[in-house]
Amino acid sequence: MDEVTISRAITESFMKEFTEAMDIDVAIAGAGPSGMIAAYYLAKGGARAVIFERQLHLGGGMPGGGMMFNRIVLQEEGKKIMDEFGVRTKEYDKGYYTADALEAVSTICSKTIQAGAKIFNLISVEDVMIREMDRISGLVLNWSAVSWSKLHVDPLVVRSKLVIDATGHDSEVCRIVQRKIGANLRTATGGVIGERPMWAEKGEAEIVENTREVYPGLLVAGMAANTVFGSPRMGAIFGGMLVSGKRAAEVAQDILATGSKSV
């Protein structure tokens, strides 16, 4: 096989999948643990789910564990999800388990793609698309290198029935909506409240409750949910992130099936 054939194989196969991703059920911003878990369960349920990740690597903060010690901590509910994925865990104390962060990320990524979800890295979300009834109906995308290089290059758009903001602490999609539409999010202030200081127990308890639809067509998951609703950060305990991803998939599936809105 010569170099031109190799180049054609890469470009043609990529463009085929990227073109197919332009009209989907759920577009997910961010390939951290909650984003990939959401995509996994959505794909298993038959939805067309696609993740757009701005970085080269996947997994958000999970590969770094705690302060670059590449181990993570999980509680019982998170361990159940790791068991489903086949990620090995060890009990450290009653109700708390450790896992290799790199094994967790690589396994979740592989199983998510094998379930039928698509992941495109090095693509950033620049904006959202809105149509009738002020509903989010897609994402505006560009190569991450374009923004990093400060180039003026127009973006492209993907249409989706739902969007999940899984961009982590910055809750980037929700901030775009707030900035461009005004304070219309379903929070106590109508906007992104902001992440509170570290309190692992409280943050873990609230992250699943915060995983919901915050604007028509827009859901939040993972640390983006806690940032939007003003809950604490948790540090290197990741069970709540996993459970939040699963919950986001359940909420999205309900909306796709019935058209109802989460509360």
May I ask the CATH architecture of the domain 3-258? Answer: 3-Layer(bba) Sandwich (3.50)
pLDDT score of 99: 98
pLDDT score of 254: 97
What is the DSSP code string of 32-95? SHHHHHHHHHHHHTT--EEEEESSSS-STTGGGTBTTB-EEEEEHHHHHHHHHHT--EEEEETT
Domain layout of the chain by residue ranges: 3-258
154-164 confidence digits (pLDDT tens): 999 999 999 99
pLDDT score of 263: 38
pLDDT score of 182: 84
Query: Residue 247 and residue 222: Cα distance in Å, rounded?
Result: 10
pLDDT score of 133: 66
- Burial-class residue 37 by CB neighbours within 10 Å (0-12, 13-18, 19+): buried
Please answer whether residues 202 and 121 qualify as being in contact, where contact means their C-beta atoms are separated by less than 8 angstroms: no
Question: What length does the chain have?
Answer: 263
**Cβ-Cβ contacts under 8 Å for 185 (sequence gap 6 or more):** 174, 177, 178, 191, 192, 214, 215, 228
pLDDT score of 189: 94
What are 51's strand-pairing partners?
Answer: 28, 119
pLDDT score of 1: 76
pLDDT score of 134: 85
Please answer whether residues 240 and 209 qualify as being in contact, where contact means their C-beta atoms are separated by less than 8 angstroms: no
Q: Is 143 helix (H, G, I), strand (E, B) or coil?
A: strand
Residues of the chain with pLDDT under 50: 261-263
